[in-house]
Structures are given as C-alpha cells and as structure tokens.
Amino acid sequence: MQTSSNDKKTARSSRELWTIINGSNLLLLFIIAYLLFYMQTVGLIASDTGLHIQRMQQYFDGIYYIPHPLWHIGTYYLSHLLKVEYGIAASIFTAFLVTLYAMIIYKIAQSLDENKEDYAKWFLITLISLTIGPMFIVSLNSRIYMGPGSPSIWHNVTLLMVKPLALLSVYYTIRFFTSNQLYYSVLAAIVTIVSIFAKPNFIIIFLPALVVYILLKRSFEKRKLLFALVVILFSVASLAYQFTHEFGKGKDSSIIFDFLGVWSIYTPSVTVSVLMALGLPFLITLFNYQSVKKNEYIKFSWLLVLFAFILFACFAEGGERYSDGNFSWSWHLSLSFIYLFTIIEFFKQYFLMPAVVRYSLLAIMLYQVYVGWYFLVEMINGVAFNSSYDSFPFFFG
C-alpha cells in the first residue's frame, strides 16, 4: 500500500512538473511567434502578411474578394475588439494559431501513446514537429523551403490558419473510421468544412484521399458513407463558389495543366527534391512496416501526400501568379501530417528497432530539425524564405 501511495505521489508530482513546463513552453512559443509575425507585418521579414492585411481592409470595404477569409476575419475583429492596429492584431491572432497548433500536436501525441505518463516524449514530439525542416544538401538543391517543400512553414499566415483545422480533420476522421462513433464524425465534418474558408488547399487533397481510403478499407457502412457524402457535397459546393469568384469570367487568373512547370522553377530535380522531403518519413515507415500497417493515421497521411504531389506536379495558376506556386500549399500541408504521425510512430517503436536503425533515423531527424531552426533564424535575420544558399554551416557546406 505504501509503495502504491508513493507511486501515485510520484506520478502526480511528475504531472504537475510537466504542466508547468508545458505552460511555460506555450507562453514562450506565443511570445516568440508574436515577435516573428510582428516583424513580418512591419516588413522586417519577407512574407505576404502585409499584403494579407491590405487585402483584409479591401475585403471589408467590399472592393476585393478573398476566397478563404477566415484569417482576415479573425484579425479584423480582434483588432476592433482590442482596439489595436491591424499589425498587432495580426501578430496576436497568428501567434495564437501557432500556439493552438502546438497544443493539438501534443494532445494527439498523448492520445496515440499507450504510455499515459510519458510527458517528455510528447513534449519532444511537439517541438520537433513545429520546427523540423526538409533534408537539405546545398549541392543537390540550394533552396531550403522552395523545391522540396517543408513540414514547418512560418511565413504564410493563411497556411497557419488552416493547419490546426486540417490536423484535427485528419485526427477526427480516422478516429471516426476506427471507432464508428458518431461524435467523431460530427467533429470531423465541422473542422473539415470550416477549413475550406481558412485555405482550400487542404480540402482538395482531403476529398480524394477520403474516397480512396473508403474504397481501400471497404468501409461502406451507412454512417461512413453519409459522413463522406455530407463533406463532399458541402465542400464541392463551397469550392465551386470560390472557383467562380476567383477564376471566373473577367478574372486575370486561371488554372492550367502544366506538368512540373512551376516545381521545376525552384529545383534542378523534382525527383531529388521529393526524395529529400519524404526520405525520413519513408524510412520510418519502411523500418516499422509491421506497426505502420496498423496505423491508420500514417496510411491516410500517405494518401494526402500522394494527392498533394499530383496537384503540385500537374497544375498551376496561369497569368502573373504562375510562379507563386500556390498549388504547393497542399504539398506543405501533407508533409506536416506525414512527418507528425511518422515521428509519433518512431518514438513509439524507438526501443524496438535495432540500435543502428534507431540511431541513424534519430541522426537524420536531428539534422533536419537543425535545418528547420536555421531556416527560421535566417528569416528573422532578414533572409527571404525563397533564397538560395551557397553554403550551409557545419553540414554539407
């Protein structure tokens, strides 16, 4: 009895300690994110945040159409609520989104772990997922972000708006399909549909992934088919409305088929860039294949990666926005999810893998975290996110 009592006290003390650590970490993350985004609003860091603020005012003045106005609406009303200028409101709102995303990552890592007391693991997964970059070798591709893409993006506010919603959509959808509980289907439908108005790049890969997932799993129960039908019908209607207003008659932009056209602008080899982007999650999947076969989150994320690749590889915007690569946002999103769920799987299986495998994968992961941090610090120092590098400190220079 005494031992049991001591164990409970130790567990309670550990829980309280990690509550303090996590709370402090979230506060620090919010402050750093606020400063980062405020620097974007005043033009010290290259981003399109200032342009979004300008368009936000035009949107509320009725002279500019925004197909995905959720970030703009949140910033606008927060500015009026707090009676602060748009730049400060944008910084607060976006920092909140990043903090929320971190909280969701932590909770998902916790819910997918059989060990309910492993706080350090969930904390580590959260930090890695927030900042990890792609594999980067200067001689193969001189750009860190452009070309391979990145699972962590810090310069596009609308992508940060959709990330929490998209991640919850994937999580609740798989929870629904594995448990068949109506509660999860309602939550999944809500966050999925709302995500369309944050940034539609998620829904256009989610829908085909959902259809293929249902076919592969042969999940033809009435509840699941009804869920898919509701999401598809509402999403297609919303996308059609956005398409006609964004690319309709009299508009300068259009959607064109252009195989690897935009992607090839930013990399000497799309194949190499894709391998650099997906190398780590692929290796984690390969070396943990038996457990991954049972992991529905990873399987669904690989479907998202597949359709994001097809989208970015095959389509582009015609006109002056051709080189912007706006179809790449789905690719970045899919990388976020496949990295998160394979990293969770990596730490779950860590001690079950041969030492040479786990240490090799960990070394690759830590290197890519270094790349992500370097990319972020360079942005803070004024280096544009799409810049090329002639050398890279300490590694592959």
CA 31 to chain centre: 20
Residue 390, pLDDT score: 81
> Mean pLDDT of all residues in the chain?
91
Average pLDDT value for residue range 79-89: 97
Most distant CA pair in the chain: distance in Å?
78
29 has a pLDDT exceeding 60: yes
Tens digit of each residue's pLDDT (9 = 90 or more) over 313-369: 999 887 777 877 888 999 999 999 999 999 999 999 999 999 999 999 999 999 999
Tens digit of each residue's pLDDT (9 = 90 or more) over 135-175: 999 888 888 888 899 999 888 999 999 999 999 999 999 99
Helix axes of 119-131 and 329-348: crossing angle, nearest 10 degrees: 150
Helical ranges in 112-139 per DSSP H: 119-131
Using an 8 Å Cβ cutoff, are 319 and 84 in contact?
no
Tens digit of each residue's pLDDT (9 = 90 or more) over 285-322: 999 999 999 999 999 999 999 999 999 999 988 777 78
CA 249/CA 382 separation, integer angstroms: 39
Bigger pLDDT: 47 vs 250: 47
Side-chain-facing half-sphere of 115: CA atoms under 13 Å: 11
- Residue 361: name the closest of 371, 347, 382 by CA: 347
- Residue 129: name the closest of 98, 104, 151 by CA: 151
CA separation, residue 368 to residues 18, 144, 167, 395 (Å): 26, 10, 21, 11
